[in-house]
Amino acid sequence: MAGYDDRDGKIWMDGKLIEWRDANVHIMTHALHYASSVFEGERAYNGKIFKSVQHSERLIKSAELIDFEIPYSVEEIEAAKYEVLKANNLTDAYVRAVAWRGAGEDMGVASARNPVRLAIAAWEWGAYYGDAKMKGAKLDISKWKRPSPETIPSAAKAAGLYMICTMSKHAAEAKGCSDAMMYDYRGYVAEATGANMFFVKDGEVHTPLADCFLNGLTRQTVIQMLKEKGITVHERHIMPEELEGFEQCWLTGTAAEVTPVGQIGEYTFEVGALARDIAESYERLVRA
């Protein structure tokens, strides 16, 4: 495929649709230098963006958490997303909304006088982990830990918070893995680089408490699905040594959807009935 900077199509940028290749920013854009950027990853199924309004609301909230205001309402962002899908003739697609501090009068840590910009793009994107949905993803264990919420706005989906995720995933891929599991600053099991985690033991589900990392919308959806199926869900701190006793594991995220995990480091997991059932149930839900 062509690089993401060299494609046909339209991108919505600052209130209007422009040609994909013309969707550029200046080299002095503040976000490029200081990571003053937030984003959302969303999927459209059969022409409808799953949890679309919640994503738009979180985008605005993320911006507030890193101290800027997006100059568009939820309703305007919603209209723009569907305008992008229509302009690109897409019904099943990944949708990326990104807001950032642009180039302006400030070029230092402070950037209050710089304009806030917003862009929305969409493209076809298949399974995030390839064939892992069938055989289970293989995960490395990252040397990097999710930071304390006293050091970062951990509830924001902010670009800068993904730096150690990129480093962790690169290291994992170099080892032949699909992704990496990260511990948090206390040593508890936290998440993968771009997805939340679930484990199964004795018919009950355990998922790390999202108190220092993003409480994903897919995570919340899957927890509700499990409860509706009558399955007990424990949101709690999980110690590394507990991995040995879990029978199944899966990842959740807008890009990942529901992806079973077959291995994390030295620990192996069955791609079992519950993992498959939840993956199938989620697929039915998003396409309903």
Q: ∠ at Cα 231 (229, 237), nearest 5°?
A: 135
Would strands 196-201 and 233-236 be described as parallel, antiparallel, or unpaired? unpaired
DSSP SS3 for 146:
strand
Residue pair 32/25 in contact (Cβ under 8 Å)? The answer is: yes
Active site residues per annotation: 157
49, 116, 196, 207 from 239: Cα distances, Å: 36, 41, 16, 11
Neighbours of 157 (CB within 10 A): 23
Token couple for 41: 């990853």
Strand ranges in 202-272 using DSSP code E only, listed in sequence order:
204-208, 233-236, 248-253, 257-264, 267-268
Residue pair 248/200 in contact (Cβ under 8 Å)? The answer is: yes
Token couple for 230: 């009558």
